[in-house]
Structure 1
Amino acid sequence: MIKKLKVALFALCLPMMAFATDFEDGKHYNTLSVEKSETAKVTEFFSFYCPHCFRFEPVAIALEKSLPEGAVFEKSHVNFLGGLPSDVQSNLSYAYIIAKQHGKEHEVAQQLFNAIHTQHIRFTDMKDLKALMVANGISEPEYDAALVSMPVLAAEKAMVEAQEKYSKINALTGVPTFIVNDKYKLNTSALKSQEELHELVAYLLKK
């Protein structure tokens, strides 16, 4: 009886196991010529001004919630979108980093996306960003101090370095782009559902 139960349980696992082995390098993901991260993580390269990123945000949020315990989800804001001054894009990077320091990254990200793509607001002036921060409980003095603080400057520098690193190997040619463990770039266009995205990420985190 116990033996039969074990066989039955194993059979239930077969579909998931078979599904995982169906993921193909070069089709569902690409293995990059860079060193693999020692920390389990998923990095999303994105821009608040990118309409595709705006539409993909619910998918990214669901993906973050699906990650196993210990895995990290990082959003890395890029500054290479055409038609926009780099300082405007960098200001949004700083705003997101500061919001994250205060545990307000999800609220601020949603508000920035909605303001830009629904209300058609252009955050060309730092005063507009400050007003958004204040509305989320981050005072102007706190924001100004954070802008010149070492943790924020280091985090923004890391974003730029990551952007340049993956751009040089043609792994970052547009946004949103998802990379697992610094090593595997997802080909989201080859995926059929949110569930399949979660399965692929879980598979690559263990790879």
Structure 2
Amino acid sequence: MSAAFLAAILFSVASVSASAQNTAAQWQEGEHYDIINEQLNPRLGIVEIFSFWCPHCFQFESIASQLKSKLPEDINFTKAHVEFMRSAPVNIQQEATKMMLVARAINREDSFNKALFKAIHEDKKHFNSVEAIKEILLEQGVDGEKVLKLADSFGMKSRINRNNKLTEGINEVPTFIVNGKYKAKFTRDMTPDSFVELILWLTKQP
């Protein structure tokens, strides 16, 4: 091995090490993220806790899409819906949760979420019945009978309970939880790109 080649390898290793140190110094506990659990749970991956009626959640949809596109295949990304917004009746929000989970079960979650966000924040639609929420899903070209069957199934009750478990203790949205341990914080000096970088960094923390 030549001296020049060895020097190049050492320089490369030093550069990677310096980059890792700079990244670690960039993100600070308490400022950019909080530790909400001592135990890490990688099975949870990234959980975005949100509401369809939250304007900031609507704005964060592009960030969530960017994040999902950059995640390794072994890291899960899950949305969990809250039902405490004052801008809509609780039963309507509960139906939105259920229909989102039905859409997830039949691989229509992205199109349903996009359609419901658009109806609320762009079309300024007010939903006064659970049937109107269900209609948003049916408009995505799904089997109505299958939707009804899934919505009333025992398995759906389990999915709803899991959704509600993921949102326990959360009183602001959007909130991004990483591996059940870290809560990412979007600060004023951040860009969408840097927020994505923070979350990706948190996925690698012990």
TM-score normalised by the chain length of structure 2: 0.89
Say whether the 8 Å CA contact 1:178–1:186 is kept in structure 2.
yes
- Amino acid of the structure 2 residue aligned with 1:188: F
Check the 8 A contact 1:40/1:70 in 2, yes or no: no
Q: Which runs of 5+ in 2 are unaligned?
A: none
Structure 1: runs of 5 or more not aligned: none
Query: Aligned pair 1:62/2:66, yes or no?
Result: yes
2:171 counterpart residue number: 173
Aligned 1:7-26 pairs, distance under 5 A: 7-14=10-17, 16-22=19-25, 23-26=27-30
Q: Partners in 1 of 2:83 and 2:42 — Cα distance?
A: 27
Deviation at 1:5, TM superposition (A): 1.8
How many Å apart are 1:3 and its aligned residue?
Answer: 0.7
Q: Distance in 2 between matches of 1:57 and 1:138?
A: 23
Q: Which residue of 1 aligns with 2:32?
A: 28
Which residue, 90, 112, 115 being the options, matches 2:116?
112
Per the alignment, residue 127 of structure 2 pairs with 123
Moved more, 54-63 or 196-205: 196-205
2:185: which partner in 1?
187
- Cα gap change, 1:58/1:50 in structure 2, threshold over 3 Å: closer, same or farther? same
Q: Is 1:50 matched with 2:48? A: no
CA 1:151–1:190 in structure 2 vs 1: closer, same or farther (change >3 Å)? Answer: farther
Contact 1:31 1:185 in 2 (8 A): yes
| Residues in 2 aligned to 1:100 and 1:51: alpha-carbon distance in whole angstroms | 22
Offset, 1:80: 1.0
1:73 counterpart = 2:77: yes
The equivalent of 1:139 in structure 2 is 143
Report the Cα offset of residue 77 of structure 1: 0.4
Structure 2 counterpart SS, 1:189: coil
Aligned-partner Cα distance in 2 for 1:191–1:151 = 43
Q: Deviation per CA, 1:73-127, whole angstroms, max 9, x where unpaired? A: 0100000112432111110001111111111111111111011001011233232
What is the letter of the counterpart of residue 195 of structure 1? Answer: D
- Does 1:199 pair with 2:197? yes
- Give the share of equivalent positions with the same residue, in percent: 26
Which whole-Å CA distance do the structure 1 matches of 2:43 and 2:143 have between them?
33
- Which of 75, 94, 98 is 1:94 aligned to? 98
How far apart are residue 13 of structure 1 and its match?
2.2
Letter matched to residue 65 of structure 2: I
Q: Structure 1 residue 14: deviation in Å?
A: 4.4
Does the residue aligned with 1:39 lie in a helix, a strand or coil? Answer: helix
CA distance in 2, matches of 1:70, 1:190: 31
- Output the TM-score relative to the length of structure 1: 0.89
Tell me what 1:5 maps to: 8
CA distance in structure 1 between the partners assigned to 2:57 and 2:142 by the alignment: 25
How far apart in 2 are the matches of 1:84 and 1:131? 17
Moved more, 9-18 or 100-109: 9-18
* CA shift in 2, pair 1:150/1:19, >3 Å: farther
Question: Over alpha carbons, which structure has the higher Rg?
Answer: 2
